Every structure is written in structure tokens, then in C-alpha cells.
Amino acid sequence: MPACDQSRPRVLLLGPGLEAVSGVSSHLQSLLRSALGERYELRHFQSGSEGRRESSPGRLLRLLVSPLALWGTIRSLRPAVVHFNTSMKRGAFWRDMIYVLVARLNGAKTLFQVHGGALESFVDGNRLKQLAVCRLLRLPDVIVVLSERELTAYRRLVPQQNIRLIPNAIDITAFLNLPLRRYVASRPLELIYLGRLAREKGLHELLQAMAIARSHGAQAHLSIVGSGAEEARLKQAVDRLHLATAVTFAGAAFGVAKLELLARADVMVLPSYSEGLPYSLLEGMAAGKPVIVTPVGAIPDVVTAGVHGLLVPPRDAAALAVAIVAMTAGRATLEATGTACRQRVASQYSLEHLVRNFSSLYQELMAVPEIQGSARFAE
């Protein structure tokens, strides 16, 4: 392990592998590459299965050993703050709460950032589970959420906890350099999906919507950019719906390749069942693309219907089809909508905002006297 820089406070970032294809990995990479590194010495500790190739016995061994590995890392680095990046999913939450306890027992301040999963769905009306989750959520020194909706939910469940809203953000420079798309009525409307190929992303409904929209005369083409477990089934659905000429699978794309695909797109589509604050949405809007999205997670905080695009209910292929037809028919307004999207991200969701928010929060945490985790848990 490289020698520590004694001139800056240390912050240990916990989350998935940096090479994993996920929004949380993108978030970690953004923090590690940002100007936060000028003020804090940032280190990464991998938690969870994303970005790993391991057998079932290997996963079990990691789950048993990783709290001890974290204990040793904290004892070695002595970070002032341990910044957890997690979600309200069964495996992640319980595992990371053990990590929080390890960090607190070692005297580190703890920042628990939740990237996805609705709190209400997680406790699921179970009174005993709700009490357990409520007690555990008192352990971190601060909880960070991505949306106004989640801020309200967490403050209702744990009113005595310090809860902050800090949305995701991106480095907008490369996206702002893309020219705004000129919409031409004589060619098909170019739609783009950017992200994991997973059922919960609403891609099967999107393919059904494409078939419905085309049956109503809409000229549209969809580029699916990404990779994932659902790819084979999606390709089968394309064949079954006779969409071979209307849908292209572009594979995973990064860097310049992703920018080129965005430059050729007219509209971004993200019909997810649930989300935190997707990076693909921020990137598409920064590139000047109007959006068709579902009002889940933090998306309603970013997207105003009729200003930045259209909001449709999750799992609703018919509503998606109506939105595609409307976008196809309303091309004259799309350039102004794309401009509004770009301005929205530039003004509220740039990396500079993220750096400023976390730098201030880290400093605030380090200025607060330590409260023993066991005492807080017993309250």
C-alpha cells in the first residue's frame, strides 16, 4: 500500500470495484478524480460483489473476512472520515451496517450515502424490521440521500439523525462540447438508451412501445447502449416484435465512443422501475438530449415534464409509445427542450457542486467531537 500523505486528512471511500459498470462505481471514480483530492487524501476500499469474479465459496469467505480487512485498513490508514456508498437492498444494507460499526469502533466519522432503493419498500411495512432499520440508521454520523423524496422518508423514520441531500453530479465539460442536435423531419427520430441491460430498466416495455409507436406510423430508431444479463432475451424480443431494422444493440460504450453515440441521438429514453439518480440521465441531458423517463428516485428532482422532456409511469408500454409518438411529431420543439436540459445539468449537477458539497460535509464531520457508536446505538 502506498505511503499516506500526512498533509491532508484521509477519507476512505467504500463501494464496488472501480472497474464495475454501475452508477455507484461512476460516482466513486468522479470523487477520486475530482478536486477533492487536492484537500483530502482519498482511498478506496472495495465492498460488495460488483467488479469481482468469485465463486460462491469465495463470496462467502469474503463476507466473513471483509469486516476484519476493513478493521485492518482503518487501523493502518486512520482515516478521519469513512464514506460508505450503499443502497437499500437486502444484502448491501446489512453488510454495510456491519462496516459502519467497524468504522465507529475505530474512532472514524461515518458518512452513509444511499444510492438507490426506496426506504419504504425496504422496510415493507414490517414493524420489527422497521425498528431494526431505524436503530441501525442512527449509527452513522450523517446519512446522504439523492432525492427530495428520500430526504422526507428518512427524516420521517429517523427524525433525530443528521440527513443531507447531495445529488449525483458529472464532469460536464465533454458533454457541453457536443453540438446541439438539429432535428430533421425526413429521417427517423433517433432514440438512445444508455445503461445496464437489466429487466428493471424497463427495456422490454421500451421494445413493446417501439412496436406500438411504429404501428401508429412513428418513424423512430432505438440504439441500446450497454451490456448485461438481459441482452439475449432483449434480442429475442426484437425478433419476436419484428424490430430488427428499428433497434440496434451498440454494446457498452465509454469515453469518446459514448460521446459519439450521444451526438447522433435525438432523445434519451430511460424507463426504469426504480433508480437513485442515474448518471446516464445527467450525461444525456448535459449532451442536450430531451428525455423520456419514469418519475422514480431522484428523477423528478431533475426533470420537469414539458420542460426537459416527458415523464411516463413505470412498466407502461402504452404510455411509452404515446411519448415516442409525441416526440416524433413535436420535433420543432426538441432543440429548445435539449437546450433546457443542458442548462439544468450545468446549473445544478456539475462536478464542482459535488466537490463543494462533500468538501464542506467532510470538514463539518471532522470538526464534531466523537460520539461512541455503542452509545448512539443504545439511545
Mean pLDDT, to the nearest integer, of 74-87?
A: 96
pLDDT > 70? residue 338 = yes
C-alpha cell at 351: 462536478
Q: Which DSSP letter does residue 168 get?
A: -
- pLDDT score recorded for residue 23: 83
Question: What H or E segment, with its residue span, contains residue 269?
Answer: strand 267-270
Mean pLDDT, to the nearest integer, of 204-209?
A: 98
Question: Residue 58 and residue 185: Cα distance in Å, rounded?
Answer: 55
214 in Cβ contact with 246 (< 8 Å):
yes
pLDDT digits (tens, 9 = 90+) for 216-251: 999 999 999 999 999 999 999 999 999 999 999 999
- pLDDT score recorded for residue 53: 67
pLDDT > 90? residue 326 = yes
Q: Which DSSP letter does residue 200 get?
A: G
DSSP bridge pairs for 189: 220
- pLDDT score recorded for residue 21: 72
Task: Report the percent of the chain where pLDDT is more than 70.
Answer: 91
Distances (CA, A) of 282 to 57, 115, 179, 291, 368: 38, 15, 16, 10, 34
236 in Cβ contact with 206 (< 8 Å):
no
- pLDDT score recorded for residue 377: 42
| Domain annotation for the chain: domains and CATH numbers | 10-169+351-377 (3.40.50.2000), 173-348 (3.40.50.2000)
Residues 6+ apart with CB under 8 A from 279: 23, 26, 27, 168, 170
Question: Residue 76 and residue 363: Cα distance in Å, rounded?
Answer: 21
Helix axes 127-136, 148-157, angle to 10 degrees: 100
Question: Residue 304 and residue 312: Cα distance in Å, rounded?
Answer: 12
pLDDT > 90? residue 328 = yes
Question: Residue 230 and residue 232: Cα distance in Å, rounded?
Answer: 6
Lowest mean pLDDT: which of 54-63, 215-224, 293-302?
A: 54-63
Question: Residue 283 and residue 344: Cα distance in Å, rounded?
Answer: 11
- pLDDT score recorded for residue 60: 67
48 in Cβ contact with 78 (< 8 Å):
no
| pTM recorded for the entire structure | 0.87
- pLDDT score recorded for residue 7: 76
- pLDDT score recorded for residue 175: 95
pLDDT > 70? residue 56 = no
Cβ-based burial of 47 (10 A; exposed 0-12, middle 13-18, buried ≥19): buried
323 in Cβ contact with 331 (< 8 Å):
no
B/e letters for 90-129, b = 16+ CB within 10 Å, e = fewer, are eebbebbbebbbbbbebebbbbbbbbbbbbeebbeeeeee
pLDDT > 50? residue 379 = no
C-alpha cell at 90: 437486502
pLDDT digits (tens, 9 = 90+) for 133-145: 999 999 999 999 9
More confident residue, 247 or 21: 247
pLDDT digits (tens, 9 = 90+) for 150-166: 999 999 999 999 999 99
Round the average pLDDT of the chain to a whole number and report it.
91
- pLDDT score recorded for residue 372: 43
pLDDT > 80? residue 62 = no
pLDDT digits (tens, 9 = 90+) for 251-263: 999 999 999 999 9
- pLDDT score recorded for residue 204: 98
Question: Residue 147 and residue 193: Cα distance in Å, rounded?
Answer: 22
